[in-house]
Structure 1
Amino acid sequence: MAHPNAPLNQVVQQYLDYLAYNKRYSPHTINAYARDMQRLIETLEDQGHRTWADAQADTIRDAMVTARKTHLAPKSIQRILSSWRSFFTYLLQQNLVKLNPVNGIRAPKSPRKLPNSLDPDQISQVLNATIASDDPMAMRDKAMLELTYSCGLRLAELASLNVFDIDLTDASLIVTGKGNKTRQLPIGRQAIVALKLWLQQRGQLKCYDANALFINHRGQRMGLRGIQMRMANMAAAHGQHIHPHMLRHSFASHLLQSSGDLRAVQELLGHSNISTTQVYTHLDYQHLAKVYDKAHPRAQEKTPLKEKPNHD
């Protein structure tokens, strides 16, 4: 155990050894911690501190101000604060400090990135493509695409679907989402057609999982990675880039553009908090802005040059 007055570097090395030998962290993770600790050492030394007990909340806040001035990304600052907080927790356990100066200090929030989505024509280009009637896997892939876009499913929700979750007569399905919460969703007409064709083919295949709605060529339930790859390949064959989450985002934005009913979209997506769904209002605004710029006669007019003042 290091002495409370031990050099800063010595205590850090002890901590890194602890992470390597006790926590079994990977060399890559250890290197990341080492860089964060070096930044912390420089912060303390710049303020004339010689021991870790000298570090106070103001020390950490000043370091955050400096990080922002150097245009460090919010995610990087969040990671650094997390590293420092873990380090001071370790120092508390070793009785080298009496408080954790990082506690209570919040990192800047990362700007919320708007989800990527496709326009209806791009999706139709893939979904309306002719599928070979003698290729059951292609029929399965189309059914997965249609169902994901029709219901706005998460990838994990799609993969976990069972045959008995689908009610073709009622054109609905029961899906289990995050937090083990279930919700009932309507299924669109085209998705129903695709599902019926796939279920006919599925009944003729070897199946080692009687419940799984979507199975692979070995008769086992489709995995997450397998679904992603099959969707990507099908889309690429028609000049598009599609992944399950993009279909979910497209479902939400297209529905909101048509209905304007944020609450309904929230229920369909299975969001527990409407603030999560509100990101699609930004997508909706972007869509409206593009329509305005393209269609409104005043949006395209060039601003006339101001007349020069007459000083005569």
Structure 2
Amino acid sequence: MADDALAGAVTAFLAHLRDERGLSPATVRHYGRDVEAFAHHAREADLPAWGRVTEADVRAFIAARHRRGLGGRSLARMLSALRTFFAYLMREGLVANNPATGVPAPRAPRRLPETLDVDETARLLDGNDDDTLARRDRAIFELVYSSGLRLAEVAALDVADVAGDPETLRVEGKGAKTRIVPVGRRARTAVQAWLAVRGSLSPAGEPALFVSRRGRRLAHRSIQQRLRVMARQQGLDRPVHPHMLRHAFATHLLESSGDLRAVQELLGHASLATTQVYTHLDFQHLAEVYDRAHPRARRKRD
């Protein structure tokens, strides 16, 4: 394929993205980089014309990038750029079909979520709560761990949600889906301790359960920052974020019960496949125990 045909089509495509679709400069730059990579491949493979590019050509390009170490997410982004590019060429009458439409990206390996073990969780939550903000923070993170709450879910709680020291809590999760979750004894105790002093920060009529120094609903970022500080104070040697407590809830519950369906319901996952990542965490734990304990697994000492 001639260089001028390659360059002309790519230049016109990027102008279309910028001027007609109004995409940001960064997005146009990313599309341009991905399409230019394919154009370079077309030159190297001596493809005759854009209209003669086949699905097999696109597959060969993606396979080559995969062999060079490009990950699944990057390849998926690259395929998205190619589909958009060939859709533009179809609109302009330069090609008859879109050869990138049926090409799947290699599946990216699922990253296991970071979590805390039982001892780390206990160390984190068993700190002092001898001032108002410490009581508030203790209540927040006891609830997250006790009930497997998301950051947005705990931040959205109102005082009315915990009226009467309930043993269950109704929360609204992703997609406005409501679920009922249990509230453990320690979490209930921590919430009641916070409610006893909440009035010193919160003005009358404020519905939010957890409020800032100014008496307003506590922001997500503030909750994240408070947990990082709390983890450092308790001697944890790595960054801790609220979702790690939700992961700890799921992992510890699954280790004890083995009931994946129950964990799915408690987490509010729409698909069991989402919850199954915790079976990998559980297996990792069992494998570590096996390696330490089984006579045929232990390494010989030097």
Who wins on radius of gyration, i.e. which is larger?
Answer: 1
* Aligned residue number for residue 139 of structure 2: 143
* Range with greater deviation from structure 2 (6-15 or 80-89): 6-15
1:49 — aligned with what?
47
Kindly state the Cα deviation for residue 83 of structure 1 after the two structures are TM-superposed.
0.9
Q: Which residue of 1 aligns with 2:217?
A: 221
Q: CA deviation at 1:18?
A: 2.3
Following superposition, the deviation at residue 170 of structure 1 comes to 3.2
Q: Is 1:174 aligned with 2:198? A: no
Residues 231-272 of structure 1 show CA distances to partners (whole Å, capped at 9, x for unaligned) of 111112222232111111111010011111111111111111
Which stretch has the larger CA shift, 84-93 or 23-32? Answer: 23-32
CA distance in 1, matches of 2:8, 2:48: 12
> Could you tell me which amino acid in structure 1 is paired with residue 154 of structure 2?
L
CA distance in 2, matches of 1:248, 1:130: 22
The one-letter code of the counterpart of 1:197 is: A
Amino acid at match of 1:156: A
- Selected match of 2:256 from 252, 255, 258: 258
Q: Report the equivalent of 1:117.
A: 115
Question: What does residue 128 of structure 1 align with?
Answer: 126
Change (3 A) 1:235 1:243: same
Query: Are residues 1:284 and 2:264 paired?
Result: no
Q: Which residue does the alignment assign to 2:231?
A: 235
What secondary structure is seen at the aligned counterpart in 2 of 1:214?
coil
TM-score normalised by L of structure 1: 0.89
Q: 1:15 — aligned with what?
A: 13
**Structure 1 stretches lacking a partner, 5+ long:** 304-312
After superposition, the C-alpha distances for 1:248-304 in whole angstroms (9 at most, x for unaligned) are 11110100111111111111111111111111111111111112222233332649x
Change (3 A) 1:290 1:168: farther
Residues in 1 aligned to 2:205 and 2:230: alpha-carbon distance in whole angstroms: 24
Of the three residues 92, 99, 102, the one matched with 2:100 is: 102
The CA distance in 2 between the partners of 1:64 and 1:27, in whole Å, is 25
SS at match of 2:31: helix
Question: Paired residue for 1:308?
Answer: none
Letter of the 1:95 counterpart: G
Please give the alpha-carbon distance, in whole angstroms, between the structure 1 residues aligned to 2:8 and 2:97: 20
Residues paired across the two proteins, number: 297
Structure 2 unaligned spans of 5+: none
CA distance in 2, matches of 1:217, 1:196: 19
Structure-2 change in CA distance of 1:162 and 1:206 (3 Å)? closer
TM-score by length of 2: 0.92
CA-atom RMSD in angstroms? 2.0
> What is the SS of the residue equivalent to 1:183?
strand
